[in-house]
Amino acid sequence: MDILKIKVKKLRSQAVLPTYMSRHAAGMDLFACPEEELVVEPGCRAVVPTGIALAIPVGFEGQVRPRSGLALHRGVTLVNAPGTIDADYRGELGVIIINHGTEKFSVLPGDRIAQLVIAPVQLATLEQVDELDETDRNEGGFGHTGF
């Protein structure tokens, strides 16, 4: 398997670089890098800074995804999952979390807050037409095959 090289810049000295936590993990853990403890009340959202910026190559994107352990044990997930980091974005990665739990959620520097998956992107051109080809499914959606 070819390994894609991505340049990463620490914006703050205490930032932790994304890390694969197991040999065959699809996603790298992203680490929080707030200036001080960040407390997210139940039902509230916050942007968690990571202290890093990436240079993702053209033809790829970064997908920011929730961590299953935070979702299961704390009720914390991402508002816009997956979030997309475009190849031309060079700013700090921020992770938008929401606390669906019943208790305050504290984020400290170095906490694992989300996952980063690097994925290929296929650009497309759109062709406006008057009709689309028919399929067995056609317009069926939103649970049309059952729940």
pLDDT at 136: 83
Which CATH number goes with the domain that contains 52?
2.70.40.10
In a domain, 108, yes or no: yes
Least confident piece of the model among 42-51, 67-76, 100-109, 130-139: 130-139
Task: Please count the structural domains in the chain.
Answer: 1
In a domain, 143, yes or no: no
Quick one: pLDDT band at residue 142, thresholds 50, 70, 90? confident
Task: Decide if pLDDT at 125 tops 70.
Answer: yes
pLDDT at 147: 67
In a domain, 1, yes or no: no
pLDDT at 109: 98
Write out pLDDT tens, residues 2-54. Answer: 899 999 999 999 999 999 999 999 999 999 999 999 999 999 999 999 999 99
DSSP letters, 19-85, are EESSTT-SSEEEE---SS-EEE-TT-EEEEE-SEEEEPPTTEEEEEE--HHHHHHH-EEETTSSEEE
In a domain, 133, yes or no: no
**In this structure, how many other beta carbons lie within 10 angstroms of the beta carbon of residue 46?**
19
> Can you give the residue range of the structural domain that contains 57?
7-120
In a domain, 142, yes or no: no
In a domain, 113, yes or no: yes
In a domain, 145, yes or no: no
- The whole-chain average pLDDT of the chain stands at 95
In a domain, 144, yes or no: no
